Amino acid sequence: MMSNILEEIKQEVDQERWLSLWKKYQNHVYSGVTAVLVIAAGMMWWQNHQTSKTSIQSNEYTQALVISESDPERAFKIFEHIPAKGETIYAQLSRFWVAAILLERGDTKGAKELYDIIYQNSSGLFASSSLKILGQLAQLHGLYIEIDTVDPQIIIQKATPYASADSPWRHLGNELLGLSYLKKGDKEKARSSLHKILEDPKVPAAFKVRAQAIINYLNTDQK
């Protein structure tokens, strides 16, 4: 049962289509992945559409976003090509889409490499706040990919800063902590992290459902 829960969580977090998530949780701007992607893209377009490189990338990104459901293969090719035209926020946003599609295809290695690139390119001293938020999200996605193969203590160390009360990604951070503590066999710390998700009024309902499912598993597990 636990393996099924872990697989469901990994699939939902790593493969969720950004646009669908945005529509579903648009009232929880900093609790949903697409909120940051869509808002950041919109703001950057408004501020920078006069510059040719950014304008071209923003137009291509918008085009790919619009056709992502009706023609996913064409959208994938557009997203994949955008970063070659320059390192802008649209390059980072496009990498997120490509990584999500690669995960759908089972290419976890390729997706992890893209998340690492996003994190590295968004974490510099001069990176904007929007880019830093994207970088944080990329690192968290990478941790979900690694959760089955990496020492849980490493996941805990990296996820802990994101579980703080002022983090826009605290629901992801606490979920990763809960899963990692569970993997270590520390059920009390796992419960504590997951209860923080349940107690947070700004966390999307889907995360609360998953947290409750894992807590229920812990409460009924007799091992």
Number of H helices, E strands in the chain: 12, 0
User: What mean pLDDT do residues 179-191 have?
Assistant: 92
> How far is the first Cα of the chain from the last one, in angstroms, to the nearest whole number?
13
Q: What is the pTM of this model?
A: 0.74
- Contact of 19 with 34, CB cutoff 8 Å: yes
Torsion (CA) 116, 88, 34, 120 in degrees, nearest 10: 20
For residue 136, which of 100, 162, 104 has the smallest C-alpha distance? 162
User: What mean pLDDT do residues 102-113 have?
Assistant: 92
Cα–Cα–Cα angle for 210, 19, 112, nearest 5°?
A: 70
* Res. 2: pLDDT tops 60: no
Q: What distances in angstroms separate CA 79 from CA 18, 84, 106, 122, one per listed residue?
A: 13, 10, 18, 18
For residue 175, which of 219, 206, 129 has the smallest C-alpha distance? 206
- Contact of 211 with 194, CB cutoff 8 Å: yes
pLDDT tens, position by position, 150-184 = 999 999 999 999 999 999 999 999 999 999 999 99
pLDDT band of 82, cuts 50, 70, 90: very high
pLDDT band of 133, cuts 50, 70, 90: confident
Report domain extents, the chain: 15-149, 152-223
Distance CA 150, CA 180 (A): 10
The pLDDT value recorded for residue 204 is: 86
The pLDDT value recorded for residue 38 is: 52
- Contact of 64 with 79, CB cutoff 8 Å: yes
The pLDDT value recorded for residue 19 is: 37
